[in-house]
A = this chain, B = another copy of it.
Amino acid sequence: MFEPSKNHQTVFFKNKPRIISNYSMVGPLESKGVLKDYFDYVLKKDTFKEKSFELAERKMLEHIIFGAIDKANLKVEDIDAMLSGDLLNQIVSSSFTARKMGLTFIGLYSACATMAESLALGACLVDRKVFDKVVCATASHFSSAERQYRFPLELGNQRPPTSQWTVTGGGASILSLTGKGPYISSATFGRVIDFGIKDVNNMGAAMAPAAMDTIMTHLKATNTTVDDYDMIATGDLGKLGSEILTDLLERKGIKLRQNYSDCGNLIYTKQGKTFMGGSGSGCSASVFNSYIMHKLNSGEFKKVLLVATGALLSTTTSQQGDSIPGIAHAVTVEVDDLKEK
């Protein structure tokens, strides 16, 4: 399980599927961190004028996808397919958003790794000319996730110090071969890795081995080292999880440097009640589609490796005593070398 897989996990894209538009949205707590100036839209209240947190999450995803389409001066009809999933049971935020927007819908689920799964699959479909334009998106909401996965907020449960905070936020990217923007040069689809962690309040530890596996496979397949990237960003390992990843990779002879960050560490500046940092499918989705895409679009970053991480548990598997399997999907996003032009 520690050796890079012999399977054909990594896909290369010769036609440069470009991220021609992207949009990000976060809630009030997320807007107080260092990334605050990078988000397209900040909610003043996390209910978003809806009657339930689930409806607020759905409205966020609608707003995010429409925002990405609008920013590209496109119409909904210009989008061939929506690739999306979310943390709610039966990915209802995504399917109800697809219903409202009338989009062809390819429902996905990789827990908090869904943004990278959608980008990787979207890049396959656009690069190989299955579709002209696809929108890849996800969102999550702290309060709907707490209610579904843990306890309703009204119960006032305490959270242990290893826990993370589901990001209220999300992001969308539109991929196309025509248009301007950074392009996805390769993607690695993850395997499901499980080191036997059973503590549902320690997701970082559960997901770190999957991140290690995917990073090792991706570096080997693309013949790159960690130094070839301006940024390597994991999805939502949080403080503890990213330390575990750093240790795991170091034992394999791969030393992560200053260019390594975790979206869950970046999004909340004052850790406080967010403890180990952000999590949720909206974590990497909002950070990638704001800060990371901004740095790529400005040319400050030339090459980024996004490794979104997901914990593939359910409340039922935990209640029945199963451990927590993790998965990580990775995409390399690059900007054109100006010297080439």
Which residue of the partner chain, among B52, B99, B109, contacts A107 with CB atoms under 8 Å?
A: B109
Distance of A331 from chain B, by nearest CB (Å)? 14
User: What number of A residues sit within 8 Å (CB to CB) of B?
Assistant: 60
Which residue of the partner chain, among B5, B124, B193, contacts A125 with CB atoms under 8 Å?
A: B124
Complex Cα gap A192–B194 (Å): 35
Mark the stretch among A126-134, A169-177, A222-230, A257-265 that contacts chain B: A126-134
List of B residues within 8 angstroms of A79 by Cβ: 7
Asked whether A130 and B132 contact (CB < 8 A) given A92-B314, A104-B190, the answer is: no
**Chain B residue with Cβ nearest A131:** B8
Distance of A195 from chain B, by nearest CB (Å)? 11
Copies in the complex: 2
Any B CB within 8 A of the CB of A91:
yes
Which residue of the partner chain, among B7, B121, B194, contacts A80 with CB atoms under 8 Å?
A: B7
Any B CB within 8 A of the CB of A152:
no
List of B residues within 8 angstroms of A7 by Cβ: 77, 79-81, 103-104
List of B residues within 8 angstroms of A128 by Cβ: 124, 128-130
**Chain B residue with Cβ nearest A106:** B189
In the complex the two chains form, is B314's CB within 8 Å of A192's CB? no
In the complex the two chains form, is A190's CB within 8 Å of B312's CB? no
Any B CB within 8 A of the CB of A290:
no
In the complex the two chains form, is A192's CB within 8 Å of B317's CB? no
Asked whether A92 and B316 contact (CB < 8 A) given A104-B189, A121-B106, A128-B129, the answer is: yes
List of B residues within 8 angstroms of A316 by Cβ: 54, 88-89, 92, 148
Q: Mark A90-122, 1 if CB is under 8 A from B, else 0.
A: 111001101100111111111100000100010
Any B CB within 8 A of the CB of A313:
yes
Complex Cα gap A121–B317 (Å): 28
Asked whether A325 and B189 contact (CB < 8 A) given A90-B111, A102-B1, A110-B107, the answer is: no
List of B residues within 8 angstroms of A103 by Cβ: 7, 191-192
Any B CB within 8 A of the CB of A339:
no
Any B CB within 8 A of the CB of A300:
no
28 A-B pairs with C-beta separation under 8 A: A8-B132, A9-B104, A11-B131, A54-B316, A88-B314, A88-B316, A89-B90, A90-B111, A90-B314, A90-B317, A99-B193, A102-B191, A104-B190, A104-B191, A105-B189, A105-B190, A105-B191, A105-B327, A106-B108, A107-B108, A107-B110, A107-B117, A124-B124, A124-B125, A124-B128, A124-B130, A128-B128, A128-B130
